[in-house]
């Protein structure tokens, strides 16, 4: 992702182009300060009472005795150093943004996976056990309510974690400077508990339940490469 950011982030491209321009300007100034300039030409002369004539001329200068050329090289060297420092500053900032966003995205993905594959299934199992126990009069009404509340909290935490993941993933794409491919097999959303609840309600068992579970059926599946 860092290599991709180096290619896609517009501010990095602009900083790199500035360095390239400064390098060319410095090379041109060094060439002008090192090699003499030669001139060769012809001139037409017309004077009163004299025949027309052509005159040739040859000229050259010695740049190493011209302080202006040396000063120009020094100025271009300073400009190049400033542009290189600016590029490194932008590059370091971009690399930090990419690494920070990647860490946050991976942490958010692990949180979603923990709730999806551990906390939520356990909450569903506890709720189902409480429901069966309540139907057989083995547990009281408050136990059933508490199990349902824990299941609903687990579902809420799950969707909050998904939102956190989406936000961190969007920040990662922004840091990289382009969209990133997603593996649809990593963050599959589990709605088995909700579907079991709905099936039992359809079968007419909702009358013996203390509360109805909400129907939540998200479709999107996302992951971090």
Q: What is the mean pLDDT of each run of 10 residues along the chain (225 residues)?
A: 88 95 92 69 62 59 68 91 96 95 95 95 95 92 95 96 96 92 57 45 38 31 36
Q: Give the pLDDT of residue 51.
A: 64
Q: Residue 219 falls within a domain, yes or no?
A: no
What pLDDT was estimated at residue 6?
84
- Confirm whether 9 is domain-assigned: yes
216 within a domain of the structure (yes/no): no
Helix (H) or strand (E) holding 39: strand 38-45
Q: What is the reported pTM? A: 0.64
pLDDT of residue 154: 96
How many Å from the N-terminal Cα to the C-terminal Cα in the chain? 9
User: Which two three-digit tokens encode residue 20?
Assistant: 């390239």
* Domain assignment of residue 70, yes or no: yes
Number of folded domains in the chain?
A: 2
- Considering the domain architecture, whether residues 85 and 123 belong to the same structural domain is answered as no
Spatial separation of the C-alpha atoms in residues 213 and 217, rounded to whole Å: 12
For 106-119, letters b (16+ CB in 10 Å) and e give: eebbebbbebbeeb
What pLDDT was estimated at residue 72? 87
Say how far apart CA 6 and CA 178 lie, in whole Å. Answer: 11
Q: Kindly state the DSSP code that residue 177 receives in the 8-state scheme.
A: T
- 78 touches 89 (CB < 8 A): no
Asked, for residue 213, whether it belongs to a domain, the answer is: no
Among the candidates 93, 109, 138, a domain finishes at 93
Rg of the chain on CA atoms, in Å: 37
* Residue-range definition of the domain harbouring residue 8: 2-93
For residue 215, being part of any structural domain is answered with no
Q: Which residue has the tokens 């824990």?
A: 150
């Amino acid at each position: 992702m860092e290599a991709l950011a180096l290619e896609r982030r517009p501010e990095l491209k602009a900083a790199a182009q500035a360095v390239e321009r400064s390098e060319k300007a410095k090379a041109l100034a060094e060439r002008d300060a090192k090699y003499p300039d030669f001139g060769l030409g012809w001139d037409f002369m017309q004077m009163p009472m004299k025949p027309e004539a052509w005159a040739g001329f040859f000229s050259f200068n010695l740049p190493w005795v011209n302080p202006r050329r040396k000063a120009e090289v020094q100025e271009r060297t300073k400009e190049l150093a400033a542009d290189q420092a600016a590029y490194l500053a932008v590059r370091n900032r971009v690399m930090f943004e990419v690494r920070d966003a990647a860490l946050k995205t991976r942490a958010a993905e692990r949180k979603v996976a923990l709730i999806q594959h551990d906390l939520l299934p356990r909450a569903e199992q506890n709720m189902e056990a409480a429901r069966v126990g309540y139907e057989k009069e083995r547990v009281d009404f408050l136990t059933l309510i508490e199990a349902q509340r824990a299941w609903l909290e687990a579902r809420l935490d799950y969707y909050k974690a998904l939102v956190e993941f989406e936000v961190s993933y969007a920040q990662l794409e922004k840091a990289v400077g382009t969209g990133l491919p997603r593996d649809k097999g990593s963050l599959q959303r589990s709605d088995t508990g909700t579907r079991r609840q709905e099936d039992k309600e359809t079968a007419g068992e909702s009358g013996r339940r203390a509360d109805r579970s909400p129907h939540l059926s998200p479709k999107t599946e996302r992951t971090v490469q």
